Amino acid sequence: MDILDREDIIKEVKSKPLYAILGSGGMGVAVAKELDGQDISLIFVEMDASKAETLKEQGFDVEIGDISDYATISALDVLNIDVAFILSSDGEANLKALNHLKILKPDIYTVSRAIDQNSKDRLEAAGVDSTVLPTRAAARIIVQAVERAATLKKAHELQKVIKEMGQGKLAIVVHNNPDPDAISGAMALKEIAKSVGVESEIIYNGLIGHQENKAFVNLLDIDIARVEEYNPSQFSKLALFESAIPGTNNLLPPDAHVNIVIDHHPVGTTEVKADFIDIQPEIGASATIMTSYLKELGIKISSELATALLYGIRVDTQEFKKNATQSDLSAAAFLTPLVDHEILSQIETPSMSTETLDIMGHAIKNRQVTGSYLISNVGSVRDRDALPQAADYLLNLEGVTTTIIFGLTEDTIHLSGRSKDVRVNVGEVMREAFGEAYGGGHATSAGAQIPLGVFSGTKDKHTLMKLVEEAVVKKLFEVIGVEIEDKEKEE
């Protein structure tokens, strides 16, 4: 044995990692319990004979000795120890044990209990890998517990408001052109309503535009109704989700009485009125707020709901690159094991139909670019969802900051606009050009649907398209302050 290199023997016999807990005490036992179930070997070093006996009775390997004695440490198979937890309540003894260990195995991984800041500093100077100040750790856990208790209290309040609104269904109205964050969060609210025996429906106005968002709704089989199917008299309760003011970017009239408002957008100085309000502008996604509610209420989350919520958080935080807080990351970590990853990847890479591809082709071919504004008329379409995709895609063109794509279905002219120019509000352009009844949307993304009946008297569809094009172009340049005359001179 003497002639063999000891390291080689260790490599041969060693099967699982060996952890040592030096100076067991209450904390040592607690750490051992935390490690229970992991595939490791564990050895205790305990000075107190009766404590050692108790540990042995519990089935642990125990060496009896004082951890501040070099003899105790050197009697251990130190070279074989991967991690040493030095946890006695005696700071000096911990420091000595650390020094002994380092002499015997300089690269041993050590975690030590510190008694105070001075003891922490000295342990660190002696090369400890990690220290724990129990009072500080306990304080952190207490603060976390308080935060969780506050979320649970809020979640109970929400349940109470839903339950107390009397008989009937809850209408969950999401903002116009709802995105995955709004839809998934509304689904979570639906589950919370269900947990107190209240039925609900999710209602939206506008478009569910992107191919990804369409895939999201289809693949997860999401039940969401359009405004046309909304009959307010069927509902006795009203929740506004991801939107805070009735009539502002949602289908409600401005005087609607809302019971519940949940949002993560700042509302400025506007007064929000509701029985229950949870607006957290610092959070990256509404789906995060709802995930904490579900988690604290202990409501079972289906894989569809988990997938929807995680997708909502990822889209809103742009894959955690934008506005992602610790809460968003925790919610994502909580949801990940519940997610259907196959569906998630299908949502993220939806297949493009041949018609969409054709429309993209027409949009590219027929584009008219004036300065940084691109307008394209793609003619007849069956799948109007291809229009926002084309509008998005052409926004990538060099020098282009605003795109407007037109298409014609059987009886309606559809427009889709996108802008990354801060001076242009395409939602306003659409509203001003066609009125609230036909046009709407956000500053960066908007659309309009004009029934051909509006242009009655003109039979030829191409003439109609030309008229619409002129109206939009005129309005667009009016809004952005470009003289059309100048533009025409240039052409």
Q: Which residues of this chain interact with Mn ion, rule CB under 5 A?
A: 181, 286, 316
Report the nearest approach of Mn ion to the CB of residue 287 (Å): 7
CB of 181 or CB of 201, closer to Mn ion: 181
CB of 123 to Mn ion, least distance (A): 45
Minimum CB separation of residue 317 from Mn ion in Å reads: 9
Minimal distance, residue 390 CB to Mn ion, in Å: 25
CB-CB contact of 203 with 224 (8 Å): yes
Q: How many Å apart are CA 362 and CA 460, to the nearest integer?
A: 20
Cα dist from 397 to 211, 394, 403, whole Å: 20, 5, 10
Q: Are 192 and 293 in contact (CB under 8 A)?
A: yes
Task: Give me 308's structure tokens.
Answer: 């929807």
Select from 256, 298, 294, 259 the least CA-distant residue to 278.
Answer: 259
β strands within 65-199, DSSP E: 81-86, 109-113, 130-132, 169-174
CA proximity to 244, closest of 226, 206, 271: 271
With respect to Mn ion, which residue has the nearer C-beta, 178 or 350?
Answer: 178
491 by Cβ neighbours in 10 Å (0-12 / 13-18 / 19+) ranks as: exposed
**Minimum separation from the CB atom of position 177 to Mn ion (A):** 12
- What are 441's two structure tokens? 């949307």
Closer residue to Mn ion (CB): 151 or 286: 286
3-state secondary structure labels for all residues of 290-343: HHHHHHHHCCCCCHHHHHHHHHHHHHHCCCCCCCCCHHHHHHHHHHHHHCCHHH
Nearer to Mn ion, 181 or 385 (CB): 181
Residue 262: beta bridge partners?
241, 278
Nearer to Mn ion, 316 or 328 (CB): 316
Q: Quick one: tokens of 398?
A: 């060099």
Min separation Cβ 485 and Mn ion, Å: 42
The length of the chain is 491
Smallest gap from Cβ 284 to Mn ion, in A, equals: 8
> Least CB distance from residue 313 to Mn ion, whole Å?
9
**Shortest gap between Cβ of 432 and Mn ion (angstroms)?**
27
- Between CA 133 and CA 95 the distance in angstroms is 14
Shortest Å, Cβ 254 to Mn ion:
22
Select 122 or 175, whichever has its Cβ closest to Mn ion: 175
Q: Which residue is nearest to Mn ion (CB)?
A: 181
SS (H, E, C) 458-484: CCCHHHHHHHHHHHHHHHHHHHHCCCH
**Cα dihedral sign, 269-274-276-278:** negative
Residue number, 87 or 306, with CB nearest to Mn ion: 306
Please give the Cα distance from 313 to 328 (Å, whole number).
Answer: 7
* Complex with Mn ion: residue 233 or 326, whichever CB lies closer: 326
Q: What is the dihedral of CA 303, 39, 137, 28, to 10 degrees?
A: 150
Q: How far is the CB of 159 from Mn ion (least distance, A)?
A: 23
Q: What's the rounded Cα separation, in Å, for the pair 298 and 278?
A: 19
Nearer to Mn ion, 114 or 289 (CB): 289
- The minimum distance between CB 330 and Mn ion, in angstroms, equals 17
Q: For Mn ion, which is the closer residue by CB, 46 or 316?
A: 316
Are 241 and 262 a contacting pair, CB within 8 Å? yes
- For the chain, report the end-to-end CA distance as a whole number of angstroms: 93
Asked if 472 contacts 458 with a C-beta cutoff of 8 angstroms, the reply is no
Which of 410, 419, 351, 418 has its CA nearest to residue 382?
410
Q: Which is nearer to Mn ion, 286 or 419 (CB)?
A: 286
State which residue, 280 or 449, has the beta carbon closest to Mn ion: 280
Crossing angle of helices 91-104 and 117-125, in 10° steps, is: 10
